[in-house]
């Protein structure tokens, strides 16, 4: 993962990249960040690529936050 990508995230979100962000489907945080940087900019697109949120959606808020940091910030430039 590109260090610039990580720098867009607040320090608290830069941790635990190799842990499951979506525990229901064992999707690593790293894989979700990669999906976002590769063009999945909505929960639906991330679900289609990684299966994250496909369970109880308990990870949805965290993923929305990642999208906000990685995509919405980028669009402001």
Interacting residues with ligand FES (CB under 6 A)? 22-25, 52-59
Rounded to a whole number of angstroms, the minimum distance from the CB of residue 7 to ligand FES is 25
Dihedral class, residue 49 (left if φ above 0, else alpha if ψ from -120 to 50, else beta): alpha
HSE value, Cβ hemisphere, 13 Å, CA-based, for 53: 14
By C-alpha distance, which of 3, 50, 5, 43 is closest to 25?
50
- Pick the closer one to ligand FES by CB: 58 or 72: 58
Q: Minimum CB separation from ligand FES for residue 43, in Å?
A: 10
Give 33 or 52: the residue with its C-beta nearer to ligand FES: 52
Looking at beta carbons only, is 58 or 73 nearer to ligand FES? Answer: 58
């Amino acid at each position: 993962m590109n260090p610039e990508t990580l720098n867009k995230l607040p320090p608290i979100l830069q941790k635990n990249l190799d842990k499951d962000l979506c525990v229901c489907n064992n999707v690593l945080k790293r894989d979700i960040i990669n999906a976002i940087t590769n063009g999945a900019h909505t929960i639906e697109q991330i679900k289609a690529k990684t299966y994250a949120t496909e369970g109880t959606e308990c990870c949805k808020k965290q993923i929305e936050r990642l999208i906000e940091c990685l995509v919405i910030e980028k669009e402001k430039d």
